[in-house]
Amino acid sequence: MRINTFTQEVPEIILGCMRIFDKEDKKIEKLVLTALENGINFFDHADIYGRGESEKKFAKVIKSLNLDREKLIIQSKAAIRPGICYDFSKEHILKSIDSSLKRLNTEYLDFFLLHRPDPLMEGEEVAQIINELIETKKVKSFGVSNQNTHQLNLLNNYCDNKFVVNQLQMSITNCPMIDSSINVNMDNLQSIDRDGGMLEYSILNDITIQAWSPFQYGFFEGIFLNNDKFIELNKVINRLAEEYKVDQESIVAAWLLRIPTKMQVIAGTTNSTRLNSIAKAKNIRLTRDQWYELYLAAGKKLP
């Protein structure tokens, strides 16, 4: 199944290209072809991934495979100046996009996301950026990454509701937007609203959530699959995988896709076999009991 943004139809699974910068061309070619065979024509980049090398590698592979650019959905992000600051200035963003377009060997991005919030952002300046990118046809659609509802509202106030995507870390173990929506008015850690009610906001405002690190726990601390820290969770995942006759990755991704908002799962794997497994999630609809069983097995509690 595919979902609609304001401007185009997109798949529920995205291939994240952060880790391809040091991979051999043949491995990337196989990965891209595996994605396309599974209906995944959406590819996520950022200017900082491999210091730009991931975008270059991707462009080289697309050219070698002689793929039609018009049939691909390419997304990139900018604003992070590693170790220095987050930068929403017009000069930095426009320069970053031009650099990404050159590395990706394309005239336009289907989606461009502001990568991490900049507290020194000036709304009028961002509006100028958006208008220029639309006028020059360098970007079709816009979004943000790792921002809360108030930050999104602020941007959209200046930019005529052009921001339609929010990319956020989310998995069975890392899902504060789910925790806070369940633990309303409770005096516990899970009740803390860390994103301004992003789950409900995304539904009410037609925002697509792109879930990054769907298999990670903590902040890049490792994956929870087959991890002794999550014995109960893995028991449930393995049982459901056997019931649905799929792999573990399919169940984990299906858990995210079961959430009733516009949800995309970013598969950051460079393993084609694993990507095949993740792609099968789009054909699975977990029952309510199964979804909650996984949530509780991850160590969550219902009030």
Q: How confident is the model at residue 239 (pLDDT cuts 50, 70, 90)?
A: very high
**Residue 66: CB atoms within 10 Å:** 6
The domains found in the chain, sorted by start residue, are 10-169 (3.20.20.100)
**Token duo for residue 164:** 């339609």
Cα three-residue angle 38-30-97, rounded to 5 degrees: 85
List residues bridging with 43 in a β-sheet: 15, 74
pLDDT value at residue 221: 84
Hey, which residues does 143 pair with through a beta bridge?
113, 165
Q: Looking at the predicted structure, is the pLDDT value of residue 4 above 70?
A: no
pLDDT beyond 90 at 218: no
Q: pLDDT tens digits for 181-190? A: 999 999 999 9
Strand partners, 16: 44
Q: Which residue has the higher pLDDT, 211 or 2?
A: 211
> Is the pLDDT reported for residue 1 higher than 60?
no
Give the confidence band of 252 by pLDDT, cuts at 50, 70, 90: very high
Query: Which stretches of the chain are assigned E, i.e. beta strand?
Result: 2-4, 9-11, 13-16, 42-44, 73-78, 80-81, 85-86, 109-115, 139-145, 163-169, 208-212, 216-217, 222-223, 263-267
pTM score, whole prediction: 0.95
Lowest mean pLDDT among 153-162, 214-223, 241-250: 214-223
Burial of 240 (0-12, 13-18, 19+ CB in 10 A): buried
Identify the band that residue 9 occupies on the pLDDT scale cut at 50, 70 and 90. Answer: confident
Torsion of Cα atoms, 103 then 53 then 267 then 165, to 10°? -50
Q: Which two three-digit tokens encode residue 155?
A: 């941007």
DSSP sequence for 224-247 = -TT-GGGHHHHHHHHHHHHHHTS-
Following DSSP, what letter does each residue of 74-98 receive, concatenated? EEEEE-EETTTEE---HHHHHHHHH
3-state secondary structure of 267: strand
- Parallel, antiparallel, or unpaired: how do β-strands 2-4 and 9-11 relate? antiparallel
- CA 218, 224, 228 angle in degrees (round to 5)? 115
- Residues in Cβ contact with 283 at an 8 Å cutoff, skipping those fewer than 6 apart: none
Mean pLDDT for all residues in the chain: 95
pLDDT tens track for 44-92? 999 999 999 999 999 999 999 999 999 999 999 999 999 999 999 999 9
Residue 291 reports pLDDT greater than 60: yes
- Check whether 231 has a pLDDT greater than 60: yes
User: What integer pLDDT is reported at residue 5 of this predicted model?
Assistant: 58
Is pLDDT at 264 greater than 70 in this prediction?
yes
